[in-house]
Each structure stands twice: as C-alpha cells, then as structure tokens.
Amino acid sequence: MQKVFEKPVSIDEKPFSYCAGCTHGIIHRLVAESIDELGIREKVIGVAPVGCSVFAYEFFNFDMCSAAHGRAPAVATGIKRARPENIVFTYQGDGDLAAIGTAEIVHAAARAEKITTIFVNNAIYGMTGGQMAPTTLVGQKTDTTPYGRKVENQGYPIKVAEMLSTLEGANYIERVTVISPAHVNKAKAAIKKAFQYQIEGKGFNLIEVLSTCPSCWGMSPIKAIEWLKANMIPHYPLGVYKDGAKTE
C-alpha cells in the first residue's frame, strides 16, 4: 500500500498542547515539512519564544533553545554568528516580536542577519489569557481592552511586514495565512523560500502568518477563521513585501 501522508521527521513524538482550532499546529508542520524537504534538519537550530509556542522545542525534532521574552532575534544572532554554517530560525508571536521584542527584530533585520523568522500574528496575547497585543485591531475586545481597542488610548496596531520591509537589511518579507488549503500551500511555499534564502546565505527573512486564536477570541474555530478573513486580512493584506535585499 502506498503511504501518502506521514509525520515529518522534524516533528517530535510529543503531542501538541495547543488549543483546539489554533493554527500553531499547522504552522509548526509547515516549518517541519520545509526543513525536511530542504534536507537541513541536522543543521537547523531553532529559537523558541515566550508565548503560546514557548514549548516549541518539545514539538520540533532538532536542536533548539528557548529565549527570554522578545529576545529570540538576539539569541538567534548569537547562534548564527557563532555557527554561520547552521540554519537558524526564530518562531515568535506578536507580543514577543512586536511589543517587548521590537528593538531586537528591527535591528536583526537592519543588520541583515542571515536568519529566518516565523512570525505568528493572532492579534492577541494567548499564553497569558487574552490581553491586547501590539497587533490587536482597533475596536477589538480583549481582556485589557474590554471596551475595544481605542485609538485615543492604545494607538494603532503595528504592521510588522510593512514596517520591516522598509529596512535595507530585510531580504525577504511575506505575509501569509493558513485559513484554507490554498492559503496553507502558499504559506508553505513562503516558509520554505525563507529557509532556502538562508541556505543561500541571504537574510534577513521573515514570514508573517496571520493566525487564529479561537480560545482568546471567544469563538469557534470556524467562526475564528471567518473573523480573520473579514477583519485581519483587510488590515494586514497578504502578499510579498520584500524580495531581495538591497545589495551594494
């Protein structure tokens, strides 16, 4: 009998502990498939963030460490500078990357670090129970914006892909989502390309993945997908923001 589907080697035995309907699991799988297909599993060093994916090092089957909140790009820089022959990536959420770790990601991109970042944007702090994130939409209700995010009080959500693509050091920046099989295929291609670029010695590479958080959004998984499509994509348009760093 022909085997048509199996667990990627880059995914470990430990079952995912993510909530039902959360898209972290899909994104993990896309990262693992990309790494398997590129044949780099034994060269990869991953950096887990603080947030829902804090235990990513338990789910992936390759060398990983965990970083302090927001510091993954700095940690990845230290690893890559020490071992330039390895493939180094960070896996970060929106609070980690776009709030407490804004300086680290901006400067890693500005330095054109030869690393890859998988940025999962679900517009909320999931791990701590649903507080406002830097990417929370205007009007969106969270634990800490119970009346909805108000511009007068909390300002505007940060568009990470757009912001980082203004930096000369950024090589490849694309925003994708995983809310349908077609979107998943596109996301996979983007993630794989972001690793391929690093193999070619190019960086900085970041894929922003619009993701759902049914638990903290207070919706069913299907409703969450509809909400993402109706609210997040208009504010965070999908597409390639940068492809090819400025070269001298």
Partner 1 sequence: MGEKVLMKGNEAIGEAAVSAGCRHFFGYPITPQSELPAYLAKKMPLVGGVFLQAESEISAINMVYGAACAGVRVMTSSSSPGVSLKQEGISYLAGAELPVLVCNVQRAGPGLGTIQPSQADYFQAVKGGGHGDYRLITLSPSSVQEIIDLIRLGFDLADKYKTPAMFLADGMLGQLMEPVDLGEYKSEIKEKPWALSGCEGRAKNTVTSIWINPEEMERHNIHLQEKYAEIKKNEQRWENFHFDDEAEFLVVAHGSMARIAKSAVIKAREEGIKASLIRPITLWPFPENAFSSLKSLKKILVVEMNMGQMVEDVRLVVNGRIPVEFFGRAGGMFPTVEQTLGKIRGLIK
Nearer to partner 1, 62 or 91 (CB): 62
Nearer to partner 1, 41 or 235 (CB): 41
Shortest CB 230 distance to partner 1, Å: 35
**Three-state SS sequence of the chain:** CCCCCCCCCCECCCCCCCCCCCCHHHHHHHHHHHHHHHCCHHHEEEEECCCHHHHHHHHECCEEEECCCCCHHHHHHHHHHHCCCCEEEEEEEHHHHHHHCHHHHHHHHHCCCCCEEEEEECCCECCCCCECCCCCCCCCCECCECCCCCHHHHCCCCCHHHHHCCCCCCCEEEEEECCCHHHHHHHHHHHHHHHHHHHCCCCCEEEEEECCCHHHHCCCHHHHHHHHHHHHHHHCCCEEEEECCCCC
Nearer to partner 1, 82 or 222 (CB): 82
Shortest CB 8 distance to partner 1, Å: 14
Nearer to partner 1, 88 or 225 (CB): 88
- The phi, psi pair for 82, rounded to 5°, reads -80, -30
Residues near partner 1 (CB under 8 A) are 12, 41-45, 47-48, 54-55, 57-58, 60-68, 71, 74-83, 86-87, 103-104, 106-107
> Which of 210, 219, 221 minimizes the C-alpha distance to 20?
221
Nearer to partner 1, 79 or 228 (CB): 79
Shortest CB 119 distance to partner 1, Å: 18
Shortest CB 37 distance to partner 1, Å: 17
Nearer to partner 1, 51 or 157 (CB): 51
Shortest CB 82 distance to partner 1, Å: 4
Shortest CB 63 distance to partner 1, Å: 4
